[in-house]
Amino acid sequence: MTDLIRKSANEIVGLLKAGEISALDCLAAVETRIAEVDSQVNALPTLCFDRARDHAAKLMKKPLADRGLLAGLPVPIKDLNDVAGVRSTQGSPIFANHVPKKSDILVENLEDQGGIVYAMSNTPEFGAGANTFNEVFGRTLNPWNLSRSVAGSSGGAAAALATGTAWVAHGSDMGGSLRNPASFCGVVGMRPSPGRVAMSVYGKIDGTLGVDGPMARNVEDLALLFDAMVGANPADPLSLPREDISYLEQARSGPKPKRVAFSRDLGITPVDPEVAAIVEKAALKLQDAGVVVEEAHPDFREAHECFQVLRALSFVTGLKTLYENHRDKLKPDVIWNIEKGLALTGAEIARAEMQRGVMFARAREFFSRYDLILCPATIVAPFPVEQRYVAECDGHKFSNYVEWLAIVYAFTNVASPAISIPAGFTAENLPVGLQIAAPCRGEGRLLAAAKLMEDVIGLGRTTPIDPRPGA
């Protein structure tokens, strides 16, 4: 069982497709590992192994060739997405006992591709806040140092990957919710372009800030899961058809970038000097691979105002009814977002939408000169878990709990796919992530570059680890 946990997702799928192991073997391995370590990190608070074994048994009745891309690989789902017959709480007391009858599109697609859902990963309430805690399940702790945060909002998914209770994991991202936890936990997380992964529509029919995406321990495993996620669905009007070449193939054999940009701060945020130095050292290793690396970044001057207005609009669109009926059960951060949205004027919304369009055009022009841009995935190393968010960095005090996320939400604003991969470790042996971003719908070139970077940095096999006590 220990041997299975330490194999890559691609190795596991290869064994599944060869008939050398079964989906039930994988479930037994991950169930044993959860019993060993999850009580220390609280990554997967809701388990559904009976349902998982039923799905595995049905899948195993099919011929090996008909079991989908994942062929029986277990996958945890972030507790913001419904899974039929499983407690799905959104991290909120309002839905503490909610058991949906129907799964979200994403879950249905993964199960159609042979994914076996066995757990729900922890998340902050409604995904609000880059520190994973809620009133239903409590905090998720960082396995590299149990006194530190896993960031958020896909913090449970990242901690599960880092501790070996998952080979791959589902996450979602608006203001870095995939990329921040990947950075803090020493794993890989990618925010795709809007439309790549079909989503169930609950509020805004054409929302492009929040997306679902893949997480894994290495780039090739992430590409495998991404291939199982993508595709058009008529229930999502923005969803895109699959490309002709799989993302796993593109990760393995895509073109090497010729010219990339590097920025310590994108011109819009402070960054902890130790974090900036680690990321710069990693980025410059591309030069050894024959890639031109120049210091540059797009003009993101409107990023803060634009993102915070449109984020508030998305919160009030999706959660206004809950605010009216259950305000006493919502955490302060969620209330702040909704009330900020309720106070917006038409002029403010129009200004933010125009700002976004201007930044998107500038980014397109920038990517005509550079294949990619590299920068930190987070501006600090993992902070104490009791701290709700980063209030100050390198002498700069932030005005609210969202502003410290600018280095990731800048790319959300311009619809760029962006990935965080391990870049190195601080003096306290805490992980630091390198963020790589590409032009909209450039996932193929992004994954190829991420695999190249992973190889030159040499940190593709640092997880899983056993949880490590903090100070």
Q: Which of 8, 78, 193, 331 is catalytic?
A: 78
What pairing do the DSSP bridges indicate for beta strands 259-262 and 372-376?
A: parallel
The Cβ-side half-sphere exposure at 41, using a 13 Å CA radius, reads: 35
Rounded Cα–Cα distance for residues 202 and 317 (Å): 9
Rounded Cα–Cα distance for residues 122 and 124 (Å): 7
Rounded Cα–Cα distance for residues 433 and 426 (Å): 11
Q: CB-based contacts of 111: which residues, under 8 Å, 6+ apart?
A: 55, 103, 117
Distances, alpha carbon 435 to alpha carbons 311, 361, 417, in Å: 21, 21, 10
Active-site residue 149, yes or no?
Answer: no
Active-site residue 121, yes or no?
Answer: no
Q: Which of 8, 121, 153, 239 is catalytic?
A: 153
Handedness of CA 322, 93, 201, 348 (dihedral sign): positive
Q: Which residues pair with 117 in a beta bridge?
A: 75
Q: Which of 8, 172, 177, 420 is catalytic?
A: 177
Selection from 113, 107, 115 nearest residue 88 by Cα: 107
CB atoms within 10 A of CB 429: 10
Rounded to 5°, the CA angle 25-27-29 comes to 70
Selection from 201, 133, 206, 216 nearest residue 170 by Cα: 216
Using a CB cutoff of 8 Å and minimum separation of 24, what contacts does 309-312 make?
309/344, 309/348, 309/349, 309/351, 309/352, 310/209, 310/349, 310/352, 310/353, 310/356, 311/174, 311/175, 311/209, 311/337, 311/402, 311/409, 312/337, 312/338, 312/340, 312/341, 312/344
Rounded Cα–Cα distance for residues 41 and 470 (Å): 12
Positions annotated as catalytic residues are 78, 153, 177
